[in-house]
A and B are shown apart, each in its own frame.
Chain A
Amino acid sequence: MSHAHDDHAAHDHHAVHADHGGIAKYIYVFLALCFLTTMSFFTYSQYWPWPDPAVKRLFMTAVSCTKAMLVILFFMHVKYEANWKYVLTIPASIMSVFLCLALVPDIGARMNGLFGYQGKYSNERLQHVGDPADVKAMLTASEYAAEHGEHEAEESE
């Protein structure tokens, strides 16, 4: 019975996949993926019109999702599969989104006051965690070190 089952499944499998033959579309998808990877860097170029980091990240996320869809639909052949693909993908997608959302109020909003919640680390942890003021102090010191190093290099020449 299992052989009949497998033969039947294989027959359906081949029947479904008989229509999309040819490797040309794989090449097109590959070129599209390369183009989209390059587009990820577009946010770093001088022609990117929106300086807000949130817009940059949204664009990069959209590019990543597009690349993922191309790989899933064409390379993994999900485009040609039957309705069972929805049973597989939709719950997993919902889970991944809600997992992130569930962690946001406690961990994600801890330091930046989202939803009016000004929770913070414990006092002991605050003593050891990085501080934006330290970043500024180090940048100032690094700029001085960079200029001082150039000045010494010029003098030695």
Chain B
Amino acid sequence: MASIAHGHEHPAAGHHAHPPKLQYHPGLPISNGKLFMWLFLSTEIMFFAALIGVYIVIRFGAAVWPATHEVHLSEPIGAFNTFVLICSSVSVVLALEAAKLNNAAGAKSWVAITLALGCVFLGVKGYEYRAKFAHGIYPWSPLSLVHEQPDVYYGSAVRARATELITRLKAEAGIAPTPANAAPAAAAPSGDAAPADAASNEDAATTIQQTQTTEASPADAVEVEADDEETRERLKHIHTLEGLQARSASTDRAELAALAAEIMPMPVSEEAGHVKGLNDKYPWLKMPVVIPGGNMWASTYFLLTGFHALHVLVGLIVFGIMLTMVLDSQRAGVIENVGLYWHFVDLVWIFLFPLLYLF
């Protein structure tokens, strides 16, 4: 915006009026690049405020929300990630200071350290995601194994999975599959519980009984003997699965809760630590699990941390590009602007960490 200086409205007699002096006033005392970065950050503030605000409202408005250990979140890992990001914020600030002093090599070193720390953050995040996936916690179906209640739908899902595994194991062990019109050998009303409790483990491991029924002929028992260790192991698993199959047919909520607790127990105390269920002992089992409130938790957790991780990745790409430049005092503005973005990413994590890990 230009203004006209009015110092010459009444010139003295005999003197010619000087042309008006135009004085330009910049809109803001910052460079265009910095202004753009701040405007972009304001849109990012709105973006993350919306996500975090929705998480807060859903979390405190839900009927039930899983505790951190129920969904296998580790607070020390989250704290370590927080420390890593804080260190990376310091390193990018030191890169800026080095660039201002025209120390290009020093600035590049600090940018490289920032890049390395960002990679550490993403690596730890990947490790955390892997742990969630290993426990069947995904943000979408059908990969997600999480059920909200130990109800008949859960029992049906357990039964379906057990049947699938039994079929596969029998095929691998060379055992004929149970006919469609025959009752499974271990199928029993809920009151009889699992037959595995009565028989010894050794007997159960070496033999299984298949009952074949037809409309006319009486039941015939087929015994299968196992000679090698691998087949014995498979037979043991089949026996366990048939027990789960039987128990999942129950309509009693308490029994289904006990079944769910056996598959993936809830953490009962800090001292008990991580109690291993069947899904932990046998990673290939991938039985459906019950985590009340778990699906909404998974949706919000992966949404928040996923978008944050994407922003970290973009920052790392930019840092990588900066390493190809000469980071002297002329580039201090570039480092400052990228640093602003990186500090904002750190800022978001400062709020995400307590909300997700400590609340």
**A residues apposed to B, CB below 8 Å:** 1, 4-6, 8-10, 12-13, 16, 23, 26-27, 29-30, 33-34, 37, 40-41, 43-44, 57, 60-61, 63-64, 67-68, 71-72, 75-77, 81-82, 84, 88, 92, 95-96, 99-100, 103-104, 107-112, 121, 127-132, 134-135, 137-146, 149
Are B257 and A134 within 8 A (Cβ)?
Answer: yes
Given A130-B149, A131-B64, A134-B150, A64-B354 contact (CB < 8 Å):
yes
Query: Can you list 7 A-B pairs, Cβ within 8 angstroms, ordered by A?
Result: A37-B82, A60-B358, A64-B350, A72-B347, A128-B149, A134-B292, A137-B253
Chain A min CB distance to B106 (Å):
11
Are B53 and A96 within 8 A (Cβ)?
Answer: yes
Chain A residues closer than 8 Å to B56, beta-carbon distance: 100
**B residues apposed to A, CB below 8 Å:** 24, 26, 28-32, 34, 38, 42, 45-46, 49-50, 52-54, 56-58, 60-64, 75, 79, 82-83, 86-87, 89-90, 93-94, 97, 148-151, 153, 253-254, 257-258, 260-262, 265-268, 272, 275, 277, 290-294, 333, 336, 339-340, 343-344, 346-347, 350-351, 353-354, 358-359
- Chain B contact residues, majority secondary structure: helix
Given the complex of chains A and B, what is the CA–CA distance between A127 and B333 in angstroms?
Answer: 57
Select from chain A the residue with minimum beta-carbon distance to B28.
A84
Given the complex of chains A and B, what is the CA–CA distance between A13 and B332 in angstroms?
Answer: 12
Name the one of B63, B94, B261, B340 contacting A76, with C-beta atoms under 8 angstroms: B340
Are A130 and B31 within 8 A (Cβ)?
Answer: no
Chain B residues closer than 8 Å to A5, beta-carbon distance: 24, 26
Given the complex of chains A and B, what is the CA–CA distance between A26 and B92 in angstroms?
Answer: 11
Give the most central of B83, B267, B343: most A CB within 10 Å.
B343
Name the one of B50, B93, B272, B351 contacting A75, with C-beta atoms under 8 angstroms: B93
Are B290 and A104 within 8 A (Cβ)?
Answer: no
Chain B residues closer than 8 Å to A100, beta-carbon distance: 53, 56-57
Are B261 and A144 within 8 A (Cβ)?
Answer: yes
Given A30-B90, A132-B63, A141-B275 contact (CB < 8 Å):
no
Given the complex of chains A and B, what is the CA–CA distance between A140 and B265 in angstroms?
Answer: 10
Chain A residues closer than 8 Å to B50, beta-carbon distance: 99
Given A92-B49, A96-B49, A145-B261, A57-B79 contact (CB < 8 Å):
no
Given the complex of chains A and B, what is the CA–CA distance between A66 and B37 in angstroms?
Answer: 23
Give the most central of A8, A23, A34, A100: most B CB within 10 Å.
A100
